[in-house]
Amino acid sequence: MSVLRAPDPAAVLRDFVARVSPYDPAPGAEPVGSVDVHSADGTETIRVTPHLARALAEALAGYRDRADRGTCATCGGRRLDENLHCADCGRLHGVLGEVIARQAERVRQRGPAGSAEAAP
């Protein structure tokens, strides 16, 4: 079994800074803060300019987790699996879930399987 290794956070931030810094309209601007990144290799401090702060904010606001499949229409839970089954309330979400739920309700209202045969 292979183990997925998390990326080095300092390297990820260094790469991001390298990609956005050439477009900084005021590269010598006073930093608005700094970020200390702790990793296995030690601690690194990254200066945050106004341009970098905006770029980070936009990148983080635009991020969507691959596991995000929306919220359950029944309970509002956010733990929908790949089949849109809610781990919180057990309901199927979405159009397919609605169709299955309606069919299950029709079957439940008919009662036991034998009662439908007795009807004329």
Largest separation between any pair of C-alpha atoms in the chain: 87
What is the four-CA torsion angle of 50, 54, 56, 58, rounded to 10 degrees? 180
pTM of the full structure: 0.63
End-to-end CA distance of the chain: 60
Nearest to 8 by CA among 61, 34, 58, 44: 44
The mean per-residue pLDDT over the stretch 75-87 comes to 88
Query: Over the chain, what is the mean pLDDT?
Result: 85
CA pair distance 26, 34, nearest whole angstrom: 17
Report the C-alpha gap between 38 and 43 in whole angstroms: 4
Hey, what amino acid is at 73?
A
Residue ranges per structural domain of the chain? 9-62, 66-111
pLDDT tens-place string over residues 8-34: 888 899 999 999 999 999 988 999 999
